Amino acid sequence: MDLQDLAEAISSAQAETSIWFEGRRAFRKRGAQAINPYRLQSEEYSLWEIGYGYEQKRIADLSPLN
């Protein structure tokens, strides 16, 4: 892997992480009312959903009702 490939991989990872965090923040701010802003069946849509689901489960696990 040359320097250019490494730079592109890092940039891609940063974008993916950013979308994942968007999903987490959306759950915290809007809960079940949050709407995924990405095109259905796109990689971004899936990343957002994974972040959203992660935060939903994390908060549910913290609930004293569990």
pLDDT per residue as tens digits for the range 13-66:
999 999 999 999 999 999 999 999 999 999 999 999 999 999 999 998 987 775
The pTM (predicted TM-score) of the whole model is 0.85
CA distance 36 to 3: 34
**Per-residue pLDDT, 11:** 93
CA distance 22 to 35: 11
Q: Rounded to 5 degrees, what angle do the CA atoms 34, 15, 54 make? A: 45
The identity of residue 7, as a single letter, is A
3-class SS of residue 7: helix
